[in-house]
Amino acid sequence: MAKTERQRLYDVLETLPVYVVLLTPDYHVPFANRFFRERFGESHGKRCFEYLFHRDEPCEICETYSVLKTGQPHRWEWTGPDGRNYDIYDFPFIDADGATLILEMGIDITERKQAEKALRELNETLEQRIAERTAELAASETRLSRAQEIAHLGSWELDLVKNELMWSDEVYRIFGLQPQEFSATYEAFLERVYPEDHAAVDAAYSDSVREGKDSYEIEHRVVRKDTGEVRWVLEKSQHVRDATGSIICSRGMVQDITARKQAEKELLKLTEELKRSNSDLEQFAYIASHDLQSPLRNVEGFVQLLARRYKGKFDGKADEFIQYISTGVKDMQMLILDILEYSKVGSDGKTFTTIDGSSCVTKALSNLKDTITEKHAEITCHEKLPQVHGDFAQLTSLFQNLLGNAIKFCTEKPIIHIAAKKEGPEYIFSVRDNGIGINPEVSDKIFAVFHRLHTKTEYPGTGIGLAICKKIVERHGGRIWVKSEPGKGSTFFFSLPAEE
């Protein structure tokens, strides 16, 4: 190469933004461009290993000089004494003078390497996070599946566009199916629905769509694939719509409610049996007490005749015995009338109308006026009692029983107060007295038929009055209870639904 020609080459290489050096087989550096010099300094005639690495000997492994052996270009990566990374290209190069040289080009790839490293680290972190998240998801899926198993509650999703049905593990368990046995379509699900419920299940979905509802709920039966057993399930579903409002997906839950259904069936059966036996009993009590009235009236007539015609004609004891019979007959008549009234509460009740509570009290007080006068009872009432929906005769009887007891179970002048207040959706009525009071331990029992706390000689009665009150209140949808202490008077409360 002529000198000028060589110089021209050097001039071109001088300003390149990569490093370029020429190396002789004996490690001298006849040319290094500005890029190289700025990074590694001037060679000042020193050999490459001397000025780059301050060594006395050539490096044991030197990739640059391998090209002299192979005669082939070589590419490799090098970390220079400046700590930066270079992408190195070595070419065998024959000078115009015929001398063999090495042309080495180095591109600074430090930034690229750092970016690659950062990217690699980021990737690793991301991979680690994904792995952690996947493990967390798997764990929460297991927890969800277990919770679903315990609650017998599964979840499903139906893609209406693709007709693809996805079930959680518990749905498979409820249907007694293995995932591989199920073709995951709506039709495959319908196959497992109890045949008689097909139409209802299909209609639940289509009706909700037609009526523009966002959800639907249905209880139906399914037939287990493994055992053929029929089970009850509750399904609740919600529709998902696209931007145009069309339903594209339905999501829902399915719960095995067989145990609840069985319990409901049992309860219904028991309630019906109870109703039947109650009504049989009422019928029996009614007929028996009704039919007993006439023979008892006969006995009463003859006893009165006996007393009138033969008084003083037998020995002294006979009059006393006749008196006993007469009292016994009266007691029995009272008992029969009470049983009759008790048996008629359910069967003989009138249809409900709007009733003024105060008018029931007025009527009850009028029925009790002789007793009130006799006992000098003082009865006050809350200014105006509310209106309720009910049976006038029965509510009057209710007040009459409670007021009658309040007067009866009193050792001094009876002072009685009637009141009412609204509490939420109901009215609470109360009848307070200053009587003998009741032991709280037995206060529940006194509402049962024939349950009395005293003998007839202490306080007359049949023990049916409060049972009648309870039956009347319950027929009106309310409750009855008492608060009392012996010697401190009693307050009887009953609730009735407030009129809308």
User: Which spans of this chain sit near ligand ADP (rule: CB under 6 A)?
Assistant: 401, 405-406, 409, 433, 435-436, 438, 446, 451-454, 461-467, 490
Tell me how far apart the alpha carbons of residues 205 and 198 are, in angstroms, rounded to a whole number: 11
If you write DSSP's letter for every residue of 254-322 in order, what string do you get?
Answer: EEE-HHHHHHHHHHHHHHHHHHHHHHHHHHHHHHHHHHHHHHHHHHHHHHHHHHHHHTTTS-HHHHHHH
The 3-state DSSP class for residue 466 equals helix
Q: How many C-beta atoms lie closer than 10 Å to residue 372's C-beta?
A: 19
Residue closer to ligand ADP by CB (options 301, 486) is 486
Two tokens, residue 498 = 């407030």
Residue 62, Ramachandran bin (φ over 0: left; ψ between -120 and 50: alpha; else beta) = beta
- Residue, CB closest to ligand ADP: 461
Closest distance between ligand ADP and the C-beta of residue 436, in Å? 5
Rounded to the nearest whole angstrom, what is the least distance from the CB of residue 474 to ligand ADP in the complex? 15
Q: Taking CA 259 as the corner, what is the angle to CA 253 and CA 262, rounded to the nearest 5 degrees? A: 120
CB of 438 to ligand ADP, least distance (A): 5
Least CB distance from residue 461 to ligand ADP, whole Å? 2
Distance CA 125, CA 77 (A): 27
Q: Are 409 and 436 in contact (CB under 8 A)?
A: yes
Complex with ligand ADP: residue 213 or 454, whichever CB lies closer: 454
Give the nearer residue to ligand ADP in terms of CB position, either 50 or 433: 433
Question: Which of 59, 453 has the CB closer to ligand ADP?
Answer: 453
Specify the residue, 113 or 452, whose C-beta has the smaller distance to ligand ADP. 452
- Whichever of 46 and 451 has its CB closer to ligand ADP, that residue is 451
* Among candidate residues 160, 163, 158, 235, the one with its CA nearest the CA of residue 194: 235
Instruction: Write down the least CB distance from residue 283 to ligand ADP, Å.
Output: 22
Residue (of 322, 336, 416) closest to 376 by Cα position:
416
To ligand ADP, the closest distance from the beta carbon of 418 in angstroms equals: 13
Q: CB of residue 441 vs ligand ADP: minimum separation in angstroms? A: 13
Tokens of 27: 């490690």
Nearer CB in complex with ligand ADP: 239/471: 471
